[in-house]
Structure 1
Amino acid sequence: MVETYARPRFGEPREPTNRVNPGSRLMRVIDFITASHARSIAFLALCGLLLFLPGFFNIPPIDRDEARFAQATKQMVETGDFVDIRFQDDVRYKKPVGIYWLQSAAVETASALGLPRAALRIWIYRIPSLIGAIGAVLLTYWTALAFVTRRGAVLSALLLGSSVLLGVEARLAKTDAMLLLTVVAAMGALARVYLSWQRGEDPEHPPWAWPAIFWTALAGGILLKGPLILMFAGLTIITLAILDRSANWLWRLRPLWGLMWMLVLVLPWFVAIFWRAGDAFFADSIGGDMLSKLSAQESHGAPPGVYLLLFWITFWPGAPLAAMAAPAVWRARREPGAQYLLAWLIPSWIVFELVLTKLPHYVLPLYPAIAILTVGALERRVLSRSWLRRGAAWWFAIPALTSVIAVIGAVTLTRQPVFLAWPFVGAALIFGLFAWWLFEDNRAERSLLNAVVAAMFLAFAIYGVVLPALTPLFPSAEVARALRNVVCVGPKAAAAGFQEPSLVFMTGTSTVLTDGSGAADFLNQGSCRFALVEARSERSFAQRAEAIGLRYNVATRIEGYNISQGRAISVAIFRSEGTE
Structure 2
Amino acid sequence: MVETYTRPRFGEPREPKNRVNPGSRLASVIDLVAASHVRAAAFLLVCGLILFLPGFFNIPPIDRDEARFAQATKQMVESGDFVDIRFQDDVRYKKPVGVYWLQAAVVETASALGLPRAQLRIWLYRVPSLIGAIGAVLLTYWTALAFVTRRGAVFAGLIMCSSVLLGAEARLAKTDAMLLLTVVAAMGALARVYLSWQRGEDPEHPPWSWPAIFWTALAGGILLKGPLILMFVVLTIVTLAILDRSAAWLWRLRPVWGLMWMLVLVLPWFVAIFWRAGETFFTDSIGGDMLAKFAAQESHGAPPGLYLLLFWVTFWPGAALAGMAAPAVWRARREPGAQYLLAWLIPSWIVFELVLTKLPHYVLPLYPAIAILTIGALERRVLSRSWLMRGAAWWFVVPAGASVLAVVGAIALTRQPVFLAWPFVAASLIFGLFAWWLYEDGRAERSLLNAVVSAMFLAMAVYGIVLPSLKPLFPSAEIARALRNVVCVGPKAAAAGFHEPSLVFMNGTSTLLTDGSGAADFLKQGSCRFALVEARSERGFAARAEAIGLRYNVATRIDGYNISQGRAISIAIFRSEGTE
Which bin holds the TM-score, normalised by the shorter protein? over 0.9
Whether contact under 8 Å (1:8, 1:14) holds in the other structure is: no
Please name the residue that 1:237 is paired with: 237
TM-score (norm 2): 0.98
Residue 563 of structure 2 is matched in structure 1 by 563
- Superposition deviation, residue 19 in structure 1: 4.3
What one-letter code is carried by the residue in structure 2 that aligns with 1:180? Answer: L
Match of 2:52 in 1: 52
Displacement, 1:13? 5.9
Map 1:1-150 onto structure 2 (within 5 A): 6-12=1-7, 14-15=9-10, 19-23=15-19, 24-150=24-150
Aligned to 1:416: 416
Asked whether the equivalents of residues 13 and 145 of structure 1 are also in contact (C-alpha less than 8 Å), the reply is: no
Percentage of matched positions with identical amino acids: 85
> C-alpha distance in 2, partners of 1:344/1:20?
35
**Secondary structure of residue in 2 paired with 1:101:** helix
Paired letter, 1:257 = W
Pairwise CA distance, 1:21 = 2.2
Which amino acid in structure 1 is aligned with residue 209 of structure 2? A
Asked whether the equivalents of residues 13 and 146 of structure 1 are also in contact (C-alpha less than 8 Å), the reply is no
Distance 1:9 1:393, change over 3 A: closer
**Are 1:162 and 1:456, in contact at CA under 8 Å, matched by a contact in 2?**
yes
1:216 alignment counterpart:
216
Match of 2:429 in 1: 429
Aligned residue for 2:456? 456
1:283-304, Cα deviation, whole Å (9 max, x unpaired): 0000000000000000000000
CA contact (8 A) 1:553 1:577 kept: yes
Q: Deviations over 1:360-386 (max 9, x none)?
A: 000000000000000000000000001
Looking at structure 1, the residues matched to 527 and 213 of structure 2 have their Cα atoms a distance apart, in angstroms, of: 57
Report the alpha carbon displacement of residue 98 of structure 1 after superposing the two structures with TM: 0.1
Distance in structure 2 (CA, Å) of the matches to 1:545 and 1:55: 42
Q: Which amino acid aligns with 2:410?
A: A
Question: How far apart are 1:83 and its partner, in Å?
Answer: 0.1
**1:403 Cα offset (Å):** 0.8
Aligned to 2:300: 300
Pairwise mapping of residues 195-344 of structure 1 onto structure 2 (< 5 A)?
A: 195-344=195-344
- Give the Cα separation in 2 of the matches to 1:330 and 1:27: 27
Per-residue CA distance 1:346-404 (angstroms, 9 max, x = gap): 00000000000000000000000000000000000000001100000000000111111
1:391 aligned partner:
391
Deviation at 1:73? 0.1
Q: Which residue of 2 aligns with 1:499?
A: 499
Tell me which amino acid in the other structure corresponds to 1:85: I
CA contact (8 A) 2:93 2:284 kept: yes
> What secondary structure, in the 3-state scheme, does the structure 2 residue paired with 1:456 have?
helix
Q: Amino acid of the residue matched to residue 7 of structure 1?
A: V
- Residue 545 of structure 2 is matched in structure 1 by 545
What is the match of residue 400 of structure 1? 400
Q: Identify if the C-alpha distance between structure 1 residues 528 and 146 changes in structure 2 by more than 3 Å, giving closer, same or farther.
A: same
Amino acid at match of 2:138: L
**Is the CA contact (8 Å cut-off) linking 1:13 and 1:147 kept in structure 2?**
no
Q: SS of the counterpart of 2:532?
A: strand
Q: Is the 8 A contact 1:20 1:27 kept in 2?
A: no
Please state how far the C-alpha of 1:94 moved relative to its aligned partner. Answer: 0.1
Q: Which runs of 5+ in 1 are unaligned?
A: 1-5
CA distance in 1, matches of 2:54, 2:445: 26
Q: Distance in 1 between matches of 2:493 and 2:258?
A: 51
The one-letter amino acid of 2:2's match is R
Contact 1:11–1:195 (CA<8 Å) still a contact in 2? no
| Residue aligning to 1:348 | 348
Residues 14 and 300 of structure 1: is their aligned pair in 2 closer, same or farther, counting only changes over 3 Å? farther
CA distance in 2, matches of 1:328, 1:19: 20
AA at the equivalent of 1:305: G
Whole-Å separation in 2 of the counterparts to 1:20 and 1:117: 56
Query: Residue 508 of structure 1 corresponds to which residue in structure 2?
Result: 508
For this pair of structures, how many residues does the alignment match? Answer: 575
Q: Contact 2:194–2:249 (CA<8 Å) still a contact in 1?
A: yes
Aligned equivalents of 2:35, 2:483: Cα separation in 1: 55
Matched residue of 1:251: which SS?
helix
Distance 1:45 1:57 in 2: 18
Gaps of 5+ in 2: none
Q: What TM-score do you get using the length of structure 1 for normalisation?
A: 0.98
CA contact (8 A) 1:421 1:465 kept: yes
Shift of 1:15: 3.9
The DSSP-based 3-state class of the residue aligned with 2:423 is helix
Paired with 1:15 and 1:354, the residues of 2 have a C-alpha distance of 44
Q: Name the CA distance, whole Å, in 1 between partners of 2:325 and 2:28.
A: 24
For 1:155, the equivalent position in structure 2 comes to 155
Deviations 1:449-495 (A, max 9, x none): 00000000000000000000000000000000000000101000000
Deviation string, structure 1 residues 24-75 (Cα, Å, up to 9, x no partner): 2101111111111110000000000000000000000000000000000000
1:546–1:140 Cα change, 3 Å: same
CA contact (8 A) 2:218 2:262 kept: yes
RMSD (Å) for aligned C-alpha atoms: 0.8
Instruction: Write the letter of the residue equivalent to 1:142.
Output: W
CA distance in 1, matches of 2:326, 2:75: 47
Deviations 1:403-455 (A, max 9, x none): 11111100000000100000000000000000000000110000000000000
Q: Distance in 2 between matches of 1:363 and 1:579?
A: 56
